[in-house]
Amino acid sequence: MSAGAVPEDTAARPAPPVRRTGVRRVVLSGLALAVLAYLIDQGTKLWVERTMELGESIVVVPGLLRWYYILNPGAAFSIGTDVTWVFTIVQAAVAVIALVSLLRARSWAWGLALGGLLGGVLGNLTDRLFRPPSFGQGHVVDMISVPNFAVFNVADSFIVCSIIGLCLLMMTGRNLDGTCDGAAGRD
């Protein structure tokens, strides 16, 4: 065999293990985004509660954006206002699934998407658990209003953006462990 030749059995060798440092960084980055999303969400809700009256509307960008302080017992577009406890259970389950998946993530994209989802879900779950009228049936503070759309909050924004990111990752064949599947993963 010549000096520059590669042994034939090289192709049969298993891939080297993922470096633990990289794994920790992915997980810690996702957790950091979750904490950031949670703090921004809860901070904006606290700010709205302290500076606005329930039902008050403040124009921020005429015709495009206004702050509109409402309490939402239901889901998007106030769906399911009589079954708030169901949303509490679903959000708790999603938070657990997002956290477990984040701890298994080996891809930056998956880590950040799951971290954003976790932070957003925990933001709204906190409202469901600890806001009036009762534990597990609390109303979510919403305040961002754009034309022809539901009033929402920062947590909702993180949830939607993260779900879009997760869908794109799955549609392009990107796996939680950082590998790509077949033709869907090719650029």
**Binned average pLDDT, 10 residues per bin, the chain of 187 residues:** 55 52 86 98 98 97 97 76 84 97 95 98 96 89 96 97 97 91 54
In this prediction, residue 18 carries a pLDDT of 45
Distance CA(130)–CA(60), nearest Å, equals 29
In this prediction, residue 171 carries a pLDDT of 95
- The verdict on residue 117 lying in a domain is yes
| pLDDT tens, residue by residue, 48-63 | 999 999 999 999 999 9
In this prediction, residue 81 carries a pLDDT of 72
- 147 phi, psi to nearest 5 deg: -60, 140
156 belongs to the catalytic site? yes
Closest CA to 104 of 93, 91, 115: 115
Point out the catalytic residue in the list 9, 142, 177, 181: 142
How many domains, in total, are found in the chain? 1
41 belongs to the catalytic site? no
Range of the domain at 114: 22-175
What contacts 141, CB < 8 A, 6 or more positions away?
45, 48, 49, 69, 70, 71, 72, 127, 131, 153
- The verdict on residue 81 lying in a domain is yes
Point out the catalytic residue in the list 82, 127, 156, 187: 156
- The verdict on residue 187 lying in a domain is no
- The verdict on residue 114 lying in a domain is yes
- The verdict on residue 185 lying in a domain is no
Tokens matching residue 165: 């990111």
- The verdict on residue 157 lying in a domain is yes
- The verdict on residue 37 lying in a domain is yes
- The verdict on residue 15 lying in a domain is no
